[in-house]
Amino acid sequence: MPSKPLRRKTCVLLATLAGAAMGTGCQNVRVPEPLPKGWADNDPHARTEFWYRLSARPVATNDEAFHAILLYLDGADSSPDYAARVKALQGRKMLPTDFHQASDEPVDRGTLAVALVGALKIDGGATMRLFGPTPRYAVRALEYRGIYPPSSPNQALSGGALVGIMQKAEEFQHGSPADAPAALLPAEIRHPGGPLAATAARQAEIASKTQAASPPSPADDGEGGKHLVFSIVPRHAFGLNPNPATSGAMNLNINAPELASFVADASSDEEMGFGRIQGIPGNPLFLADAPEPPSAPAAPKHLNVIVTGVEGDAAEVRKSESDPWVRAKTGMVLHEDAEFRTGPKSAVRFIIPPDQTFCLDSQGTTKVRQAVAEGNKLKTDIALSHGRMRYDVAPIAAAGGGAGEPVRIEQAGLEHDAAIRSPNSALALRGTKVSLFEQPEFDPEAISLTGRAIYVNTSGRRIPFGGARRAAVSGSQTSAVQQAAADALAPQSADLARTEFENHEISVVIQRGGFVRGDVVVGNLHLSDFAKLPGSLDFVLQWSGGPTAALNDLNLAVFSPRNTRTSPDFVANPPFTVSLTPGSPASEQIRSTSYPRTSTSGGAISKNSVGPDGLELASWGKNHPAGTYRVVVFNFLDASPPPSQTTNAVTYTIDVFLNGKKLITTFTGSVGFLQTSPAIAVSVPANPAATPAVARPSARIEKGTKPARAARKPK
């Protein structure tokens, strides 16, 4: 058992944090119509309209944010007013019981983060785990998982950022569809048993519709399969005569089960002015325009846009900006200027024959700006307002590559000139499987599963990427290599003699009457106890309990030069209460979120030391990054906000060694209980061989006041 001073210090911590009041500050801004009339209605169209209008709001209010959370969780919001929404979220422990902000105040990111970590069941860091979510640590937990953009708890949110966060939350729960081709709707990707099981279930459903619809008898397609030949006739086909015998008709070969599905879903949309499917025999042509005289140049042929899959009840389409939004249904036939939008847990898939498939995933809006054929060249231009658009150039087949091709057009040698454009980036395509993601405050991201594409980054540069394997590029990156490096999580810690160092550390502590519990060593340790340090670059924290031999838990955190808010690269030890049970899901979650043992650049942290005379090390191997490292020390817990009064201050020292040689003059400081020290900036050179025995001066205080006592420089 830990000694009485240590147990007493833990009790002080509990009392301090339990009694701390978390102020929210003053909010003077008010938003007219915090939830405009009609937005809170619960029919599917009203819910979809809410998300669409919210994405354009410059500021999101508390009322809109809480309505959005309830819609996402329950699919509907039964609360009659703002007070009821607050009460409903408090009942789910997603808002504090003393929450008192007004409905028309801008929602701050900390308040939304507290609600979301509850909705998504995220434990977060040590403070959240032990005492419940606070705005600061809830924001950190969501940033770490990519659900939040870089944020501070008191920042307000735009409506577009709120919509983007909700999309990220959905993908956190159900997985991102970005690594699947556009032929698969998100639910088909996540179908139990995988995409093939989803395809089989879909084909069985189509087969049952086939029997009920009793379509015309299929003809032999000459390849052993049975296909129906029919015409898709736009109701208003660009001013052309809609008579399929003359012009405006697209004659396609479609297998009988798919036809039955299309007919069953599409025939009721004629009164809305959409095209519909007719069982009219014809020839399998790409686009049957009126024949031109041989001397006349070939006119561009406008391509139809056909809805082939809908998921959820928040997917809608309209023919143009001047037309009303209607619920998307399989089999709808549209054309240029068509727009699509989706809400949460919804998606819509559409094709532009003969070989282009698109899927707009949840929380997205897009428009077909151009879809034409000029000879063998297909020109497609898609405007993505926000969300994720997936795109395939491949023979159009049933989802998952099932039996048969639902659309077969007999024309070869096609050339594609396709682009997906978003407000901050673009993707130029030349026959591939790709996706483009765009949401306010998040970096745009382009992914190629197969084939080459050109990404226009946020700086306007054209970046070729992709090939036979998956590749990704985002934001202002100039190559897929940068993204791959950012995603590389394997720490370069093979150079560290961690096992030898830890074995000696445990042996010394036990010989002196101490003990080890989990990742905690309790007892006296000194740097002089070790003839060899574990790494090529070592940051060493030491402290002393003084004449009273007080037991303390100081913790070390070291941030590498590669550390950023969006791509953390640091190592740290947590409070001893977390380190006592390594391997438990709760402890590992806390460590991975807030106190990582290893970093992406190769750093590693030693065991958590508790003792009168304590010692902790952060080490990097020979391939350590060069640049400025930041060293921070905190007493037990990096509490937020820290106590205003310093109590039980503990004096500590920091030493840094490069290849066993001292890099800086010993730095001395002190830190009180639940307080965090100012950051110490340490410059580490790239060439270890050029490092002198003592560098002067290589450390500086990055912020805060001068430490209590500084060590003398050697003469």
| Per-residue pLDDT tens over the stretch 500-547 | 788 788 878 877 878 888 889 999 999 998 888 989 999 999 999 877
Q: Could you tell me what percent of the chain has a pLDDT over 90?
A: 38
Q: Which positions ≥6 away from 562 have C-beta within 8 Å?
A: 569, 600, 601, 625, 627
Mean pLDDT of the chain: 76
Provide φ and ψ at 575, rounded to 5°. -55, 150
Q: Give the pLDDT confidence score for residue 30 in this predicted structure.
A: 75
For residues 164 and 589, the model is more confident at 164
Tokens of 165: 């966060």
> What confidence score (pLDDT) does residue 11 get?
43
More confident call, 175 vs 322:
322
The band of 429, judged by pLDDT with boundaries at 50, 70 and 90, is confident
More confident residue, 282 or 655: 655
* pLDDT score for 279: 36
pLDDT at 395: 65
Average pLDDT over residues 274-287: 39
pLDDT at 234 over 70: no
Whether residue 420 is predicted with pLDDT greater than 60 in this model: the reply is yes
pLDDT at 65 over 90: yes
- To the nearest 10°, report the CA torsion of 4, 6, 7, 11: 130
Phi, psi of 48 (to 5 degrees): -65, -40
- Binned at pLDDT 50, 70 and 90, residue 126 comes out as low
Higher pLDDT, 659 or 401: 659
Does residue 658 sit in helix, strand or coil? strand
Q: What confidence score (pLDDT) does residue 699 get? A: 62
Least confident of 229-243, 350-364, 523-537: 229-243
pLDDT tops 60 at residue 438:
yes
Most confident of 219-233, 294-308, 620-634: 620-634
pLDDT at residue 390, as a whole number: 94
- Above 70 in pLDDT, residue 248? no
Tokens of 281: 């025999």
Assess whether pLDDT exceeds 50 at residue 631.
Answer: yes
More confident residue, 287 or 523: 523
| pLDDT interval class at 574 (50, 70, 90) | very high
d(CA 23, CA 152): 15
Tokens 């800086």 belong to: 664
pLDDT of the residue at 517: 84
Count of beta carbons in the 10 Å neighbourhood of residue 556: 26
Among residues 552, 498, 494, which one has the least CA distance to residue 525? 552
Average pLDDT over residues 162-186: 90
Q: What is the pLDDT of residues 183-205, one digit of tens each?
A: 889 988 865 544 444 444 555 55
Q: Give me 476's structure tokens.
A: 């202002």
CB 575 within 8 A of CB 553: yes
Work out the angle at residue 605's Cα, subtended by the Cα atoms of residues 604 and 609, and round it to the nearest 5 degrees.
165
Q: For residues 408 and 496, give the distance between their C-alpha atoms in angstroms, rounded to a whole number.
A: 59
The tens digit of pLDDT for each residue in 371-397 reads: 998 878 889 999 999 999 999 987 664
Round to whole Å and give the CA distance between 418 and 439: 21
Q: What is the pLDDT of residue 622?
A: 87
Three-class DSSP labels, 151-166: CCCCCECCHHHHHHHH
What is the reported pLDDT for 243? 35
Label residue 292 by pLDDT band (50, 70, 90).
very low
Q: At what angle do helices 256-266 and 195-213 cross, to 10 degrees?
A: 70
Is the pLDDT confidence value at 469 over 70? yes
pLDDT of residue 624: 92
